[in-house]
Amino acid sequence: MKYILLVIFCALVALSVVAGLWRPRDDDPRIPIVWATDDNPVRRAQIELFNAHHPDYRVVLDPANATLEKV
């Protein structure tokens, strides 16, 4: 029984290492900020203005995540 648990533990550790090393590449060096709000045209203008004034950050609009569950 302890050998089965040891094999399962080693497999989980190996899979955790693989998952930690296998990350999507982000070619954009800017820091992403996700803004969860409604998809209003004014928001897009605000995002463009913010991105123009703060070149180290990149704001991305996420209108599908603006539900009450996030609060």
Instruction: Give the C-alpha separation, 28 to 24, whole Å.
Output: 12
Query: pLDDT band for position 8 (50/70/90)?
Result: very high
d(Cα 60, Cα 39) in Å, to the nearest integer?
11
* pLDDT score for 27: 82
Q: For residue range 50-69, list pLDDT tens digits in order.
A: 999 999 999 999 888 766 66
Percentage helix, strand, coil, to 5, in the chain? Answer: 55, 15, 30
Task: Please state the pTM of the whole predicted model.
Answer: 0.57
